[in-house]
Amino acid sequence: MEPDGDAARLGLGRAAQTLPPRLLLLPLLPLLLGRGLRVVAAASSSGAAAEDSSAMEELATEKEAEESHRQDSVSLLTFILLLTLTILTIWLFKHRRVRFLHETGLAMIYGLIVGVILRYGTPATSGHDKSLSCTQEDRAFSTLLVNVSGKFFEYTLKGEISPGKINSVEQNDMLRKVTFDPEVFFNILLPPIIFHAGYSLKKRHFFRNLGSILAYAFLGTAVSCFIIGNLMYGVVKLMKIVGQLSDKFYYTDCLFFGAIISATDPVTVLAIFNELHADVDLYALLFGESVLNDAVAIVLSSSIVAYQPAGLNTHAFDAAAFFKSVGIFLGIFSGSFTMGAVTGVVTALVTKFTKLHCFPLLETALFFLMSWSTFLLAEACGFTGVVAVLFCGITQAHYTYNNLSVESRSRTKQLFEVLHFLAENFIFSYMGLALFTFQKHVFSPVFIIGAFVAIFLGRAAHVYPLSFFLNLGRRHKIGWNFQHMMMFSGLRGAMAFALAIRDTASYARQMMFTTTLLIVFFTVWIVGGGTTPMLSWLNIRVGVDPDQDPPPNNDSFQVLQGDGPDSAGGNRTKQESAWLFRLWYSFDHNYLKPILTHSGPPLTTTLPAWCGLLARCLTSPQVYDNQEPLREEDSDFILTEGDLTLTYGDSTVTANGSSGSHTASTSLEGSRRTKSSSEEVLERDLGMGDQKVSSRGTRLVFPLEDNA
């Protein structure tokens, strides 16, 4: 039978064996049979001939299944070889100190090469399945049950095939083998990337710049989304006028594109700046913004998709639908945040009140499963797994990490670092491959050029005005060189690609995906490759140890230093850490840390007397046994303003305002106080010896860099 010209062409999968009676699709069978979708094969009246035909069908089915398995193995082997080649080339580049091309750009180049080979160098096999006419149907079914001589076969929908490609189904099928389901990216590849970002976060530098990071991530992403969306709507109108728009492209589609393309890439930013050891506070601003704005972008895109005005025109502005979308945004984000934090807290309690530390393998396995399940749990509940797994990683690093054995700490860090590296390079390799293997590209030069211009203007409107308003409340301003670097470093990568490929059903989404792919190529190759000369041109320090604070006389550091009380060696509370966060830190140090970990002051000293029994039950025996609490490997070192005593050499700084040769004191009276003479002495002597800080009976030792 020839296919009907007006009917949708359906790519049908391989025939399965006889279906078990438990299938829920069987009630659909009478409908399908009654509407012209039943296919009855002519069979010989001879019983022997029927048996021979059945045996041949089973043999053919087995061969097809074996061939399909072989093609799947070849596809996976292709990506493994790509990763292997990428790793070897990365080693060569590092050995030769080549910096003009980053590893992610290299992975994309290898993916492009393989994509060209698969697209143009693979011949199509002969023969194809017969096309069936479905003239009575007005939509495509995702699954079909076909009765062939009493045997039921299941066929699944693979997608629509254009009439011009109906004779190359076999080649398309081969290209589909290397085209992964978008859910693979969300459920398999993104979780370790996002979790590693939260788990390896340098909390000291992150919380020092928390206010600015939140402003850039939330307000900046929203501003960028609406600017890009409105500019692209103008581009779409222009395309319609010049006759380059062949299908519908609504305003909400433009806003959706603005949301997904506003997601900067934390993976690429982390790799480039971590390798170059750029200024630690610049790193914190860029990386913190990019991690959080990924979460904001995905929730914002979900809210735009959920925008459904009442009435016939579903794309007109409706105030009720707008506020409903805002409520969805707040609900999804807060729910995802809560789910991630709760999972981290549960893991911390399990590792604290059990003796899993005696079995490091079990401890590491539980940590891995609890962390990964956060993403899937959030997605299953209708929230956003990216937000949940990000804050789960931060919570795990802050609490659970302290309860793990030494071996499990090392294992979890290395495990997620390796998974992050492999998933990152796999995604970028697949990006290069998808440029040639993806079969629904829509290339529009006007839309692509307009997108580049809109992204540039959106990023500029994001960085410079926000920096201006942030500097109004900061004593130490964010310098122009850092603002220019933030403008330049708005790389697009894994998150934008994953959001774009998740839905490519419509003409508008296919154009968005193609444009997003080209934007990622440009930013990774051009912007990523130009990071090193840009740092040099803007006079930004590189080669800085991220675990050490820069010397206080460095101009670049002082520009980004928090605008709070002047600090000694960066280990004092920064005004950038807002008063709300300082209150949170006090609550966390006195109550949450003792409850969830083996560190912190005993709860018997912080809780009221009538809670004595509960305090003794929740406080770890190690707190009583140890003279000093367990020191965090990656502590944020943010201190409260009260009950603060600093001991440095022969000088002691207390909170009572007195000073002397052996006791130098300063009063911590507010965020706008001036330096006392004791602080000047303390800062003048920084760089030698050890500094001991006592806060609420808990002593922390900070080794200082020897600059003498």
For 215-226, the pLDDT digits (tens) are: 999 999 999 999
The whole-angstrom separation of Cα 115 and Cα 435 is 7
Closest-CA residue to 70 (of 174, 209, 185): 174
Which of the four pLDDT bands, split at 50, 70 and 90, describes residue 514?
very high
Per-residue pLDDT at 581: 66
Neighbour count for residue 622 (Cβ, 10 Å): 13
Given a cut of 50, whether residue 482 has pLDDT beyond it is yes
User: Looking at residues 647-657, what average pLDDT do you find?
Assistant: 39
Strand partners, 645: 694
The whole-angstrom separation of Cα 373 and Cα 527 is 35
User: Looking at residues 466-490, what average pLDDT do you find?
Assistant: 86
Residues of the chain above pLDDT 90, percent: 27
Q: Which of 118-132, 277-291, 423-437, 578-592 has the largest mean confidence?
A: 423-437
Closest-CA residue to 202 (of 104, 264, 270, 265): 270
When computed from its CA atoms, the radius of gyration of the chain, rounded to whole angstroms, is 30
Residues of the chain above pLDDT 70, percent: 66
pTM equals 0.74
* DSSP letters for 116-168: HHHHHSSPPPS--PPP---TT-SS--SEEEEEETTEEEEEEEEEE--GGGGGG
* Higher local confidence (pLDDT), 122 or 395: 395
User: Looking at residues 396-424, what average pLDDT do you find?
Assistant: 93
The whole-angstrom separation of Cα 285 and Cα 205 is 9
pLDDT digits (tens, 9 = 90+) for 525-570: 888 777 778 888 888 877 766 555 544 434 433 333 333 333 344 4
* Higher local confidence (pLDDT), 588 or 313: 588
3 state DSSP class of 12: strand
Strand partners, 695: 644, 698
pLDDT digits (tens, 9 = 90+) for 55-67: 777 787 788 788 8
Q: How far apart are the first and last CA of the chain?
A: 88
pLDDT digits (tens, 9 = 90+) for 589-641: 888 888 898 887 888 888 888 888 888 888 877 776 654 444 444 444 443 33
User: Looking at residues 44-48, what average pLDDT do you find?
Assistant: 53
**462 in Cβ contact with 207 (< 8 Å):** no
Strand partners, 702: 691
3 state DSSP class of 262: coil
Given a cut of 70, whether residue 192 has pLDDT beyond it is yes
- Give me 472's structure tokens: 């109004």
- Give me 238's structure tokens: 């222009």
